[in-house]
């Protein structure tokens, strides 16, 4: 090389990335006594679940995951048989809310079953802390 300074030649290196399973879950959730979390995904995923008490379970996409403990759930999404997709881990923190004791009271009725009015006696509970849903 006779004392010459030679710069190394640059070479572009392309490292292909892998896709991840396509699903999302909330980071936190407030639930009553229990809640069934159902995945919505177009992929045939299998979910490995670690519950707050460290027990484990697995569910296929579309099968509900029962949340009935306070604490952190770890959900690992796996697309079996696919080496071009990485598995992904999601965490969700569940907070259990105390059930509301209530009594349904018929307050009005006009001639038929369709025109009835009801209210809920939630006893001494603050109404601003309760979510009311009608089915």
What distance separates the 2 farthest-apart alpha carbons in the chain?
109
Task: Provide the H-helix boundaries in the chain.
Answer: none
Q: Which three-class secondary structure state does DSSP give residue 128?
A: helix
Give the H/E segment covering residue 67: strand 64-67
Per-residue pLDDT tens over the stretch 7-57: 667 666 666 666 766 667 778 888 888 889 888 788 888 899 999 999 999
Domains of the chain plus CATH, in order, are: 28-96 (2.60.40), 100-135 (no CATH)
pTM to 2 decimal places: 0.63
- Select from 129, 122, 130 the least CA-distant residue to 104: 122
């Amino acid at each position: 090389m006779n004392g010459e300074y030679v710069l190394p030649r640059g070479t572009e290196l392309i490292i292909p990335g892998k896709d991840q399973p396509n699903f999302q879950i909330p980071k936190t959730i407030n639930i009553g006594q229990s809640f069934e979390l159902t995945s919505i995904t177009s992929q045939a995923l299998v979910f490995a679940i670690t519950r707050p008490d460290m027990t484990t379970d697995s569910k296929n996409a579309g099968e509900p995951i029962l949340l009935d403990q306070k604490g952190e759930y770890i959900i690992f999404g796996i697309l079996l048989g696919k080496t071009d997709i990485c598995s992904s881990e999601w965490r969700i923190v569940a907070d259990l809310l105390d059930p509301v004791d209530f009594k349904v009271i018929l307050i009005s009725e006009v001639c038929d079953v369709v025109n009835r009015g009801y209210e809920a006696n939630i006893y001494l509970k603050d109404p601003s802390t309760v979510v009311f849903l009608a089915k």
